[in-house]
Amino acid sequence: MVKKRSKHYNFAFLDEGSKRVIRRALLKAVAIPGYQVPFGSRELPIGRGWGTGGLQITLSVIGPGDVLKVIDQGSDDSVNALSIRNFVTACTGVETTTDSGEATLIQSRHRIPEAPLKAGQIMALQVPMPEPLRLVEPHEAVTRVMHAEMDYAPMWLALYESIVRTGDIELGADYPVMVEDRYMMMPSPIPRFDNHKLHMSPALFLFGAGREKKIYALPPYTRVVSLAFDDHPFRVESTHGRVCRLCGAADVYFDEFFDSATGGRLYQCSDSGYCEKRRRAGARATEPAAPTA
Amino acid sequence: MNNITGNPAFALELNELTVRYGPGCPSCGESPESLDRNRCPVCGSVWAVRGVSLRAREGETLGIVGESGSGKSTLMRALHLDEAPTSGAYFLDGGEENLFGVSPRRRRYIRDSLLGMVYQNPYLGLRMFFSSGANVAEKLIAAGSRNVRGMTERAEYLFRYMEIPFSRVKEPPRNFSGGMQQRVQIAKAVANNPPVLLLDEVTTGLDLSVQARVLDLIKRVQREFGVTMIVVSHDLAVVRLLADRTAVMRDGVIIEQGLTDRILEDPRHVYTQTLVNSML
Ligand SMILES: Nc1ncnc2c1ncn2[C@@H]1O[C@H](COP(=O)(O)OP(=O)(O)OP(=O)(O)O)[C@@H](O)[C@H]1O
Ligand SMILES: [Mg+2]
Ligand SMILES: [Zn+2]
């Protein structure tokens, strides 16, 4: 779907100077995988905390030939995804898609598509909290030194303490990773289920935190390892025994619904584009939406 | 006197350490005689440690005695690489690198793997809001361990060794008595079997009976871990019990050093004589 671009703004809204500033930060970020590069975050006509970090990245890398997909918590159709998509198309006129395989540029919040990404694709992720060490150290000046010196013992200690006290690492989404054995990094609030999609991916991942004014990146084929102890391996959210009520997919990340009719739970692909594509190809739930109590 | 590499005969070698707090000025920089004790009357700088050199052979214990403010803790913080000194050279195990000049990451490695420190103030040495077990584990984590079970077992072993009731392993040290906090600090300091152990006033402020037990414990560590130790105290009795050789500090300077027995039986400096006499 191609929309006509509004002539009131520069292509992709930001002026070329602002784009250059952000691209420079992006280049540095790509050169030092996992390292948080400070950048001069711009004002955009959407509220901070609504993904201005990811959006600024999208606007500074997008070109007229790009095919854009916008995801919010897996969905292409949420209000937030819709308004970002409309905004970007209004100021660029680029083609959009819901099929992650067709997109050249994917802006996302909270999910990485189920279908494996390919070489040449760019994923721009919105980041609310870029600093993994904030959990153990409140001061920015100190966390910078900690990264520089690779002083990650306090973080490991917090995880150790959590295991000793509760038997488990009490972290949910946005589960920290080590990048190329060097920098500790927040993957943005994707479920742990998505962490492995970052590892050795052929695609380029760009992360933007608007409020915190930080950009970081994972160039293609970067080693990304979720924090874990030898005897306490990293575990993803269980999807065991669940299938999508619409397309029958198993082994994907699900949204969970309460079925008021049966009192049971229903599961549905969180990645709406993936689900839709499967159904278009004829996939159906094998059992008639069997609810599990 | 300042050599460029360590002497292989010594496990620890410190050459001409000086730590100055403040800017310094021509008056105090050129003529230390102008100082009022350790302070420059012109610029107000404190020369906390001046030209201190120490040598310890492997497994040897070196005592440092001196009154309050003589620079003992400053010296120990420098030996633990906690703060950069004004000048000096520091070698471990006859190594070739001056440890005062290494990169921050290397410094962290040395501190985590080759040194153990018990601070005069347990709040500096312990994370009071983490469990005591985690305090020991921190040292193991810093040295690269990523095995929860192994670390927990090591902590348990050390707690038993230090005679800390096992039930307290999950409690934070802020709940503990002073003597118990020092035991946790010692457990943490020896967790990685570091070749060098630095003890700053471990028994100060403890009841006499508790003091005796902590000193016994240190003697055991000394025997069984075979570490090189630097023991700081303002109390000659502590040093007499633990140290093979002793240095006496005053106003940032070592005024006398030698075998502990010799210092006690035949103190040469007037100040040392006063110290020894006041002990008897
Ligand atoms: N950060 C600092 N800034 C300025 N002066 C300092 C600082 N730290 C220590 N000093 C001064 O350095 C001198 C040596 O202090 P230090 O704590 O090393 O003595 P000490 O021998 O350990 O004393 P105590 O027996 O009381 O523990 C003192 O005059 C002290 O006031
Ligand atoms: Mg002191
Ligand atoms: Zn001066």
Closest listed residue to residue A276, CA positions, set A97, A66, A73:
A97
CB–CB of A254/A244 below 8 Å? yes
pLDDT beyond 60 at B150: yes
Residue nearest to atom 31 of ligand 1 (CA): B69
For residue A49, name the pLDDT band (cuts at 50, 70, 90). Answer: low
Q: Read off the amino acid at residue B78.
A: A
Looking at chain B, the whole-number percentage of residues with pLDDT higher than 70 is: 99
Please state, in angstroms and rounded to a whole number, the distance separating the CA atoms of residues A273 and B259: 80
CB–CB of A190/A207 below 8 Å? no
Please state, in angstroms and rounded to a whole number, the distance separating the CA atoms of residues B159 and B188: 10
CB–CB of A69/A89 below 8 Å? no
pLDDT beyond 70 at B98: yes
Q: Where are the alpha helices (DSSP H) in chain A?
A: 16-31, 52-61, 79-92, 140-148, 153-166, 272-280
CB–CB of B65/B75 below 8 Å? no
Beta pairing class for A224-226 and A177-179: antiparallel
Mean pLDDT, rounded, of chain A: 91
pLDDT beyond 80 at A113: yes
CB–CB of B18/B87 below 8 Å? yes
Nearest CA-CA distance, residue A2 and chain B, Å: 52
Please state, in angstroms and rounded to a whole number, the distance separating the CA atoms of residues B84 and B107: 11
What's the B111 CA to ligand 1 centre distance in angstroms? 22
What's the rounded mean pLDDT across residues A214-240?
A: 95
Please state, in angstroms and rounded to a whole number, the distance separating the CA atoms of residues B187 and B200: 15
Minimal-distance CA residue of chain B relative to A168: B148
Look up A247 and say whether it is catalytic.
yes
Look up A91 and say whether it is catalytic.
no
pLDDT beyond 50 at B70: yes
Domain edges within chain A: 16-133+171-226, 238-293
DSSP state of B181: H
pLDDT score at A6 = 64
**Maximum mean pLDDT: which of A216-225, B101-110, B164-173:** A216-225
Of B104, B138, B148, the CB nearest to A231: B148
State both tokens at B231. 């023991």
Please state, in angstroms and rounded to a whole number, the distance separating the CA atoms of residues A269 and A23: 34
pLDDT beyond 70 at A50: no
pLDDT tens-digit series, residues A132-158: 999 899 999 999 999 999 999 999 999
What's the rounded mean pLDDT across residues A218-245?
A: 95
Which residues, other chains included, contact B85 with Cβ-Cβ below 8 Å and sequence gap of 6+?
B17, B18, B19, B49, B78, B100
Beta pairing class for A254-258 and A265-269: antiparallel
pLDDT tens-digit series, residues A263-281: 889 999 999 999 999 999 9
Please state, in angstroms and rounded to a whole number, the distance separating the CA atoms of residues B43 and B107: 32
Please state, in angstroms and rounded to a whole number, the distance separating the CA atoms of residues B100 and B89: 6
pLDDT beyond 50 at B66: yes
B133 lines ligand 1 (CB under 6 A): no
Closest listed residue to residue A157, CA positions, set A101, A234, A208, A229:
A229
- Strands of chain B (E only): list them: 12-21, 46-56, 61-66, 87-92, 115-118, 196-200, 228-233, 245-250, 253-259
Q: Which residue is it, tokens 């020991």?
A: B136
CA atoms within 13 A on the CB side of A76: 17
Q: Percentage helix, strand, coil, to 5, in chain A?
A: 30, 20, 50
B68 lines ligand 1 (CB under 6 A): yes
pLDDT beyond 60 at B1: no
What's the rounded mean pLDDT across residues A50-68?
A: 92
CA atoms within 13 A on the CB side of B74: 25
Q: Does domain A16-133+171-226 have CATH number 3.40.50.10240?
A: no
Q: What's the count of helices (H) and strands (E) in chain B, helices before strands?
A: 11, 9
* Cα torsion A75, A80, A86, A90: sign: negative
pLDDT tens-digit series, residues A185-205: 999 999 999 999 999 999 999
pLDDT beyond 80 at A289: no
For residue B280, name the pLDDT band (cuts at 50, 70, 90). Answer: low
Minimal-distance CA residue of chain B relative to A228: B146
Work out the burial of residue A142: count CB atoms within 10 Å of its CB; fewer than 13 is exposed, 13-18 middle, 19 or more buried.
Answer: middle
Work out the burial of residue A135: count CB atoms within 10 Å of its CB; fewer than 13 is exposed, 13-18 middle, 19 or more buried.
Answer: middle
Q: How many CB pairs under 8 A join A and B?
A: 50
* Candidates A34, A51, A54, A210; catalytic one: A34
pLDDT beyond 70 at B251: yes
pLDDT score at A23 = 97
Please state, in angstroms and rounded to a whole number, the distance separating the CA atoms of residues B69 and B73: 9
pLDDT score at B133 = 94
B45 lines ligand 1 (CB under 6 A): no
Pocket residue to mutate for ligand 1, from B35, B37, B64, B73, most atoms within 8 A of Cβ: B73
Mapped onto helix, strand or coil, the DSSP state of residue A106 is strand
* Whole-number Cα distances in Å, B206 to B53, B88, B122, B238, B240: 30, 34, 12, 13, 18
ipTM of the complex: 0.85
Please state, in angstroms and rounded to a whole number, the distance separating the CA atoms of residues B80 and B114: 10
Q: Which value, to the nearest 10 degrees, does the dihedral of the CA atoms of residues B236, B237, B242, B243 take?
A: 30
CB–CB of A272/A77 below 8 Å? yes
Minimal-distance CA residue of chain A relative to B135: A157
Q: Where are the alpha helices (DSSP H) in A198-282?
A: 272-280
Cβ neighbours of B88 (radius 10 Å): 21
Q: Read off the amino acid at residue B270.
A: V
> What residues pair up with A209 in beta bridges, in sequence order?
A214
CB–CB of A218/A194 below 8 Å? no
Please state, in angstroms and rounded to a whole number, the distance separating the CA atoms of residues A156 and A146: 13
pLDDT score at A120 = 97
Please state, in angstroms and rounded to a whole number, the distance separating the CA atoms of residues B232 and B200: 5
Mapped onto helix, strand or coil, the DSSP state of residue B248 is strand
